[in-house]
Amino acid sequence: MDRRDFLKTLAAAGALVTVKSSGMMDVMASTMPATATASDGKADLAAIMNGEPAEMLQAAMKELGGIERFIKKGDKIVIKPNIGWDRTPELAGNTNPDLIAALIKMCQDAGAAEIKVFDHTCDNWSRCYDHSGIDAAVKKAGATMVYGHEQSSYQNVEIPKGVSLKSAQVHKAIIECDKWINVPVLKNHGGALMTCAMKNHMGIVWDRRAFHSRGLHQCIADICTYKPAVLHIVDAYRTVATNGPQGRSASDVVLTKALFASPDIVAVDTAAGKFFTQINKNIKFEDIEHIPDGQKHGLGTMDLESINVKRVRL
């Protein structure tokens, strides 16, 4: 996808407003109408494009009011990327390691007392942690890599609001932390159609098979009601557009250079979902059923007109 086609995709997805160096804003044609302005001036959702992972994170956090809005001095936090697959960063099966390193630095600067990073991988955990580049990035940044491949690391919890999922074994790192940040990679998925912020919750539980047998979309929405993350940062720097969730080859990957961030999991999946379905036009946004299921749970809003959305091109 060349730059011209990518800009058309972003515009069709309602993904951005261009911020020029002069500070003036030029609204691109989009399907996302003008949004309301929050009383405190902080964005509810930031959509950033055309940058490297670390600089797009910086831009998003500037619009959202800074990491200090979410992380306070002394907090013990968990960062939960997608590390599910034995893939290198170029194949986009996992969250970009540069994004995770930049987020760790932000949380350290905010005074976090402890930062742990983990995922319950699908492929061999050691190869996933290594080949994704995340293990090395986390350790270099000075955070703690936690492992999720042993059932003893999980504890059974009740899901009071669950419709199909009434309980689950959740990783103790999530249970015990003060706050956690959800950092998925945006990509195609055979069953859920799209992996994003809500789908990334499958990596906090031990038995993912139960989701498939009880109704995948509803179970995804149900698990999101347990101890919601304070912030969701969607890595769309590279996107597995087809043959997800791991992709078969580099031909499945599109260099999209985008990032979406919000404390509202439904809103961020709505924005990213509309963006994704412009990349893979064989998938209809309305068929990604766990997003409206999440809205029914009161986890957030699909009505992007009702929130303050900042869309920025670097």
Average pLDDT over residues 51-67: 98
Question: Would 294 be classed as within a structural domain?
Answer: yes
Which is nearest to 235 in space by CA: 216, 253, 211, 249? 253
Question: Would 49 be classed as within a structural domain?
Answer: yes
Average pLDDT over residues 125-133: 97
Report, in angstroms and rounded to the nearest whole number, the Rg of the chain calculated over CA atoms.
18
Written in H, E and C, the secondary structure of 163-177 is CCCCEEEEEHHHHHC
Share of the chain above pLDDT 90, in %: 81
Q: Where are the alpha helices (DSSP H) in 70-224?
A: 97-109, 125-131, 134-141, 172-176, 209-214, 216-223
**pLDDT for the residue 208:** 86
Share of the chain above pLDDT 70, in %: 87
**pTM of whole model > 0.85?**
yes
Please count the structural domains in the chain.
1
pLDDT at 10 over 80: no
**pLDDT for the residue 34:** 41
Asked if 243 and 237 count as a contact pair (C-beta separation under 8 A), the reply is no
Question: Would 19 be classed as within a structural domain?
Answer: no
Asked if 116 and 144 count as a contact pair (C-beta separation under 8 A), the reply is yes
- Cis bond upstream, residue 245 (ω within 30): yes
Q: Write the CATH number for 127.
A: 3.40.50.11440
Q: pLDDT per residue over 206-222, tens digit each? A: 998 889 888 999 999 99
Average pLDDT over residues 116-128: 97
Q: What whole-number distance in Å separates Cα of residue 104 and Cα of residue 89? A: 18
pLDDT at 252 over 60: yes
Question: Would 33 be classed as within a structural domain?
Answer: no
Question: Would 24 be classed as within a structural domain?
Answer: no
Tokens of 18: 């261009």
Average pLDDT, the chain: 89
Residue 311's pLDDT band, with cuts at 50, 70 and 90, is very high
Average pLDDT over residues 241-253: 87
Q: Which domain holds residue 147?
A: 3-13+42-313
pLDDT at 134 over 60: yes
Which is nearest to 265 in space by CA: 187, 157, 146, 182? 182
Residue with tokens 């990518």, as numbered in its chain = 6
State in Å, rounded, how far the first CA of the chain is from the last one: 18
pLDDT at 299 over 80: yes
Q: pLDDT per residue over 137-185, tens digit each? A: 999 999 999 999 999 999 999 999 999 999 999 999 999 999 999 999 9
pLDDT at 20 over 90: no
Question: Would 27 be classed as within a structural domain?
Answer: no
Identity of residue 291: I
What residues does 255 pair with on adjacent strands? Answer: 238
Question: Would 21 be classed as within a structural domain?
Answer: no
